[in-house]
Amino acid sequence: MKLDLKKLKLRKVNETLQSIDSKRNNKNYTILNPEGNHAICVGLTDDIDITVKGHVGYYCGGMNQNANITVEGNVGTGVAENMMSGKIHVKGNASQSAGATAHGGFLIIDGDASSRCGISMKGIDIVVKGSVGHMSAFMAQSGNLIVCGNAGEALGDSLYETDIYIKGKVKSLGSDCVEKKMDNKHLKKLEKLLKKAKLEKIKPKDFKRYGSARKLYNFKIDNVSSY
């Protein structure tokens, strides 16, 4: 089924997609003429497949549960923001804060993601085939961020328990983010996630793993005079 944003109002398109019963209805939908509109495909709850033909604006696929969304173009700020489950595949580049605060699901970005990718992520798995900008995985709490290219300044600043895997260069690490040993269990997890992103040719051993030094978890009495 085709939904043309030149003919239909965005709210109508989102309401249609939000109220589909996938057991009784068509499972495949195509959105035409997105023209950079914001909040396309937000709040979906059912297991349906959607292809967006073109570039979209902010918060595409926000709060997604179960739906499988493919964007054939670039996405603006906050793609997959607060996603709970399901999958979002961006075939172009992503703007800042991709996957912000997302609790679950899978986000694949074929191009680059700019600053703050995975900010405060809480369980989502993010695979970026290109590079990520500064302050990526800032205050990230759980889940995995995998970057096949490079990472910008202050990667993983004030990090909790997200695992970060970077294949290229890291410009600098943020506070409390350190390089960690890559064990077999990490290699296996990475292999599984790369396979899920159809990147079987990329070798897990070429990545470096980063995580929290856990030094910011507790207040140090020695620092009391700083406050």
Partner 1 sequence: MCGIVGIYLKSKKFEKDLGKMLSGMLVNMESRGPDSAGFAIYKKEKKEEFKYSICINNLVFEKFKKDISKKIKYNSIFKNSDHAILSSKEKPEKVLSILNELKEISLVGYGRSIEIFKQIGNPKDVVKKFNLEKFSGTHAIGHTRMATESAITTDGSHPYSTGSDECLVHNGSLSNHNNLRRDLIKRGINFKSENDTEVAAGYISNHLSNKKNLKETLQSGLCDLDGFYTFITGTKKGFAIVRDEIACKPAVISETKDYVAIASEFQAMAHLPGVNIANIFEPEPGIVYTWGN
Binding site for partner 1 (CB under 8 A): 35-38, 54-55, 57-58, 74, 76-77, 92-93, 95-96, 114-115, 133-134
Shorter beta-carbon distance to partner 1: residue 104 or 130: 130
Least Cβ distance, residue 139 to partner 1 (angstroms): 16
Any idea of the CA torsion for 179, 184, 186, 187, to the nearest 10 degrees? 100
Least Cβ distance, residue 186 to partner 1 (angstroms): 31
Least Cβ distance, residue 19 to partner 1 (angstroms): 26
Shorter beta-carbon distance to partner 1: residue 96 or 144: 96
Q: In 19-116, where do the E strands start and end? A: 28-32, 49-53, 68-71, 87-90, 106-109
Shorter beta-carbon distance to partner 1: residue 68 or 95: 95
**Residue 43 burial (C-beta neighbours within 10 Å; 0-12, 13-18, 19+):** middle
Shorter beta-carbon distance to partner 1: residue 64 or 74: 74
Q: Taking Cα atoms as reference points, which of 92, 178, 182, 166 lies closest to residue 131?
A: 166
Least Cβ distance, residue 55 to partner 1 (angstroms): 5
